[in-house]
Every structure is written in C-alpha cells, then in structure tokens.
Amino acid sequence: MLPEFAAFRAVWVEITSSAYSHGGPGWNFGTCLWSPSVDGGGAARYQVMWEPEAGDLVLHFYRHTWEGRPSCTQLCGFSLVHHACREVTLPPPTPRRWVAPAYYRLDLTGYEPLASRLNPEELNKQPDYLARVRQELMPNRPAHYPFSSYCPLIRVTQGQYLTRCTAHLYQVLQDALGLAHPPLETAPAPAGPARRPTEYQEGQRKLREAYFFTRNPRLAAEAKRLRNYTCEVCSFNFRQHYGALGVGFAECHHKNPLAERPEELWSQALTTSLDDVVVVCANCHRMLHRQRPALSVEVLRTRWEAANQ
C-alpha cells in the first residue's frame, strides 16, 4: 500500500524506462535518482533535482521494454530520499545519450515494490479518475506535474524525468490502486449437513448500505504527525518495524468514540481537538474496541504493561 501523503514534506514522481538501464551498476533503479547537469543543448533543465529533501517520498513510474518494443508505463513502487542532491563528475557506467560534464544524483533508501501495479492509461478508462486529474490540469498545469492533457484524455508528461505529486493526484492514484476500497463481504456458507469444512466460499460481490460517522482527516493526520506515528499504548512504530512500507502509517482513536454518543446526538456535528484523540497501532485500536463501551487508553496500557513485563 502507499504510505499516508501527510507524512511527507513532499512526494516526487520518477518517470523512467528500462531502455535506459537506469545508468547501470551502482546507479540501479530504486537506489538513486540521477540526471545530467545540463541537456544536450546546454540548458539547465534539471534544476528540479535540487528540490527533494531527505525523507521525501518518491513514486516510481517504470516503462519496461521487451525485445525493443516498449510496453505500458506502470506505477510499480516507492522509496524515500536518503540524501539530498549532489553534483558528481564521475558518470554512470551507461549514461546512454545523457553524456554530460557533470551529473545530479540523489540516493534513495527502502525501495518497496507495489503488490498491484497501476498503468496510468487506466485512468483514461475511468471517467471519475480522468475528471479528477483533469481538474488540476485546467486551466493551467502545475509545474513539474507528472501528467499532461492529451486531447480529451491525459498521458504521462513527455520529456520530464522528475515530477511532483500533489495531494489531490496522490489520492487519485491511491484510489485507482484499489487501496481505499473496503474488503468484500464473505458469502454465506452453503446449506447442508454439519461437518468440518475444508473449502470455503467467499468473494461474492454484494451491496452494503450503512450509516457512518464523519471524521476529519486533517485532525487525524496532524495528531499522527505530532506524535511521530507511534502507538500511545505499546509504543509500536510501523516505520521502525517495516521500513519504508510503514512510513506514515498509524491509526487515530477518539477517546470518546463517536458511535457511543447518545443516539439523539448522532445527527449533530461536534468540535474535536488534538486532546480528544490518541495515536495507536492497529492491534491496540482493535483491543480498545474489543468491548463496549470502549476501554480507555490508560486501562489498555496498564493491561499491556502487565502482560509484557
């Protein structure tokens, strides 16, 4: 899954191809970003390489070439900027057509491939995603934006290596990857004599309608950031245990759960502050709601400490 956008100062997009071999050994894909200091005409068109900072997130769009024929571009993984840009004079082993007197290089860390990959062309087949991306392209495309208008459609921006991802576009990509979709409901077991099953039926698509209580995503994002995405019950930090995959991941729990208010107040909005929420890991969040009314953070922390002495 993609990390939470709010966890990063900035999110960048690398657009590259296997046809360029990414520079060769020591300059491999997912380990660094690099470009010549000037283009073939001597123009300084790669100055954007100096903008990323350590800790920024990088999304990788990769175009694979098979037997000389390019296949589709895919969003295939992400990594973190390890060191800010530096200028080097030693060229990569295979610079191809990007021979220059000097090169810009940013080292990366924690490359994480995505389990499901997204072909940006698929956005054109979904009217909602297409409209949401075009919303940012009109009337003026943001600087260093990874997509551009192509008649009524969109396409990956041609001729740009490093681009910047907005919060709006990040959400579109996350939705298109299917990361925001709830799991499908399990189908009921078939009728028949009681026995110990060895096979189970599931995966049937069903429509579920339900009421839900609105949350403010900015409140949750700010609480997680200020508390370093660390569980306030057991001190678990996903980044420490899962590396780049866990960056920006934690959950937010209301000390007074919204669903436990009196029913006559369910239709009313209320004001919530950072003092009203706590940051927890997924396990502790489930344990807090294991009973109703929910356990307090203090009670659960006491139980956790007693069980882990």
Three-class SS of 95-146: CCCCCCCCEEEEEEEEEEEEEEEECHHHHHHCHHHHHHHHHHHCCCCCCCCC
Across 85-113, b (16+ Cβ under 10 Å) vs e yields beeeeebbeebeebebeebbbbbbbbbbe
> Which pLDDT score, from 0 to 100, does residue 68 have?
52
* Secondary-structure percent of the chain, ordered helix, strand, coil, rounded to 5: 30, 25, 50
> Which pLDDT score, from 0 to 100, does residue 209 have?
46
Annotation: CATH topology of 5-176: ph1033 like fold (3.10.590)
Looking at the whole model, is its pTM more than 0.75? no
Residues of the chain with pLDDT below 70 are 19-20, 65-71, 179-215, 258-270
Residues 6+ apart with CB under 8 A from 13: 58, 59, 60, 61, 146, 162, 163, 164, 165
Domain residue spans in the chain? Answer: 5-176, 217-307
HSE at residue 67, side-chain half, CA atoms within 13 A, is 0
pLDDT in tens, 122-173: 888 888 888 999 988 887 788 889 998 887 888 888 888 999 999 999 999 9
> Which pLDDT score, from 0 to 100, does residue 299 have?
93
> Which pLDDT score, from 0 to 100, does residue 38 have?
85
Encoding tokens for residue 219? 């409140």
Please tell me the distance from the alpha carbon of residue 189 to that of residue 182, in angstroms, as a whole number: 21
